[in-house]
Chains A and B, each alone.
Chain A
Amino acid sequence: MDPRIPNPVRSAIEHSGRDDTVIVNIGPSHPATHGTVQIIAELDAEKVLRVDVHCGYLHRGFEKECEVHTWHNLIPYVDRLNYCSALINDFAYCDAVERLMGVEITPRCRVLRTLLAEYSRIADHLTCIAAALMELGAMTAFLYLVTIRDQIYEHLAAVTGARVTYSFGRIGGLAADLPEGWLVRLEQILVDFEEFTGRVHKLVDRNRIFIDRMRGVGTLTTAQAIDLGVTGPLLRSTGAARDLRKDTPYLAYADLDFEVPVGIQGDNYDRYYVRMREMDESIHMIRQLVDMLPEGPVCVDDRRCSFPDKAAVYTQIEALINHFKLVMDGPEVPAGEIYTAHEGANGELGFYLVSTGGGRPYKLHVRSPSFVHMGAAGLMLEGYQLADVVPTFGSINMIGGECDR
């Protein structure tokens, strides 16, 4: 090995205990490990005996950045945690700050946030399933799903201005309201979605090869999952109906009628199917939310966190000072701490905020589901074949930004 280039990690598997095993390095620059996870595996022919998972290759110092930026400035950073479903992160963070400040969001904002969160969840599951299927070789399914995802991105760009990382949530509301005709286009996309996922179901669900590769692979029991802190679709695939949207409802989930799909064995096939069913449930929720969307302002009229009207900023001195203070010093959040958990696309996404008063956080910690799932990944990979590493890892849906923060 070139002595100029040092090794950033120290493996727990330095020597194989036996003569007939090989130690293999998978990643971190590997298409199936989403480019940021290194798996050092000890193999006995094709069977994986031991595994050492190394994450942290995308650690971008998010929590340190939090201590030098104002509460508002952090919204773009928060977006880039789980970048597949960026809106869920936005709203979870804004919710945590709003609870700490004691700000109540408007009814329209509540329903809109729920709608956009579910929409983002669909985009995340589409990405996960598309990538997982592509890694198995099903390019057609990948192209179908990414086509729909692209339509969703363009549609979200119409309201937020960006395709992937939106920075749309604001403390006390949203950045903007829906444009004309957005809801009409939404229904069109949902109809297209149902057609495309129908095709994917037909191609993949009862496909002999797919079943052989995914059934019984990467199994996890509910007891193991809860012990390892696993939540979200991974926990639900083991048979446990745990969903923060039902268990500890927030936003508008208490008013919605939806089911929580669960799997049977906790293997890859179940995880795939649970995600597909969750997307169907999300669509059902979106349709209900469109029907119950009330009129009204989207930002709460609270001078502590919402920016005053631009016309007022240019003409009245109080509005100008308010705007200036909010931008330069950040909204005043009273001293205290709070932990808010939302159901992200991967599981329990928690924000632990510690404030000592003032416009900047004292500390902000993200409870990231992907990071905890990396702890559980070893259990799901050991004992299976080397070729199973790819689909199992794909079905865990490790998002680098969220895992490493």
Chain B
Amino acid sequence: MKPGATIPIVAAEKRGGFEYLSTKKDELVGWARKFSLFPYPFVTACCAMEFMAVSATPYDTDRFGAALPRFSPRQSDLLMVVGTVTHKQAPVLLKVWEQMCEPKWVMAFGACATSGGFYQNYAALQGIDKLLPVDVYVPGCPPRPETVIDAIMQLQDKIARQQHLIFNERF
């Protein structure tokens, strides 16, 4: 399984009871995971201001369960790449992402993380999806806190719809 790949729910053979249990398990685990996101704020540039604003009053991410940042990649599951990632910073970002354990999600916060922003030159990485798979892109330069909250909610929907394999490749 490729790390970070999202697995859509595929209707396999009709197995009745097993499928029912599996779906319910996915819903339960998805509910638990989506409301207890531990972000790793990989903060670099101006978007940091809006990241601080969205974590504090009045936009509080604590309401979504995504408030407690964990500054160790081993303890976090949501990598929020906030701000421009330059080619100098790229190895660092890759190292951090590889150290995170499954399941993990990536949010590209801001125009620079999404596509390089307006820094189309030798220094800036033209979007972090040139390095890692991204789950949700947040546009804006910097995005308003409401946009970030919308992104968190969309990510939560995505997590809820995912298949969460917790025992083996089938369950």
Listed in ascending order, the chain A residues whose CB lies under 8 Å from chain B are 2, 5-8, 28-31, 34-36, 56-61, 64-65, 76-77, 80, 83-84, 127, 130-131, 142-143, 146-147, 149-150, 153, 163-165, 400-401
Q: A5-B95, A163-B50 are in contact. Are A60 and B124 (CB under 8 A)?
A: yes
Complex: A401 Cα to B84 Cα, angstroms: 10
Q: Say what secondary structure dominates the interface of chain A.
A: loop
CB pair B142–A59 under 8 Å, yes or no, is: no
Inter-chain contacts of B21 with A (CB < 8 A): none
Instruction: Pick the contact of A146: B42, B57, B141 (CB < 8 A).
Output: B57
Closest to A35 in B: B43
B111-145, CB < 8 A from A = 118-119, 121-124, 141-142, 144
When distances are taken between beta carbons in the complex, the residues of chain B under 8 Å from A153 are 53
| Contact across chains for A61 and B121 when beta carbons are under 8 A apart | yes
Please give me the residue from chain B that is nearest to A9 by CB atom.
B88
Interface positions of B (Cβ within 8 A of A) = 41-46, 48-50, 52-53, 56-59, 69, 71, 82-84, 86, 88-89, 91-96, 98, 118-119, 121-124, 141-142, 144
- B43 proximity list for chain A (CB < 8 A): 31, 34-35
The complex places the Cα of A153 from the Cα of B56 at a distance, in Å, of 14
Between A36, A76, A147, A149, the greatest number of chain B beta carbons within 10 A of the residue's beta carbon is seen for A36
Q: Could you pull out 13 A-B pairs where Cβ atoms are within 8 angstroms? A: A6-B91, A31-B69, A31-B71, A36-B89, A57-B89, A59-B86, A60-B121, A65-B119, A80-B46, A127-B52, A150-B59, A163-B142, A400-B45
How distant is A148 from chain B, measured CB to nearest CB, in Å? 10
Given contacts A36-B89, A127-B52, A153-B53, contact A165 B142 (CB under 8 A): yes
Interfacial chain A residues near B45, Cβ < 8 Å:
36, 58, 60, 80, 83, 400-401
- Is A34 within 8 A of B48, CB to CB? yes
* A165 contacts B141, C-beta separation under 8 Å: yes
The 7 closest A-B pairs by CB, nearest first: A83-B46, A61-B121, A61-B123, A146-B56, A35-B43, A60-B119, A57-B89
Q: List chain B residues, Cβ under 8 A from A142.
A: 56
Q: Is the CB of A164 within 8 A of B122?
A: no
Distance to closest chain A CB from B77 (angstroms): 16
Q: Are B49 and A147 in contact (CB under 8 A)?
A: no
Whether A60 lies near B91 (C-beta < 8 A) is no
Structural contact, B46 and A401, CB atoms closer than 8 A: yes
Complex Cα spacing A83 to B112, Å: 14
Q: Which residues of B sit under 8 angstroms from A400, Cβ to Cβ? A: 44-45, 83
Given A35-B42, A146-B52, A401-B46: A8 and B88 interface contact (C-beta under 8 Å): yes
A76 to B141 CA separation, bound complex (whole angstroms): 10
Residue ID in chain B nearest A5 by CB atoms: B91
Query: Which residues of B sit under 8 angstroms from A147, Cβ to Cβ?
Result: 56-58
A150 near B121 (CB under 8 angstroms)?
no
- In the complex the two chains form, what is the Cα distance from A146 to B56 in whole Å? 7
Residues in B with CB closer than 8 Å to A127 are: 49, 52
With a CB–CB cut-off of 8 A, which chain A residues contact B96?
A: 29
- Bound form: Cα–Cα A63–B69 in Å: 34
CB nearest to B47 among chain A residues? A164
The docked-state distance in angstroms from the alpha carbon of A164 to that of B53 is: 10
Considering the chains assembled together, what is the distance between the CA atoms of A36 and B47 in angstroms?
13
> CB-nearest residue of chain B relative to A165?
B46
Residues of B within 8 A of A58 (CB): 44-45, 83-84, 86, 89
User: CA A300 – CA B57 in complex, angstroms?
Assistant: 40
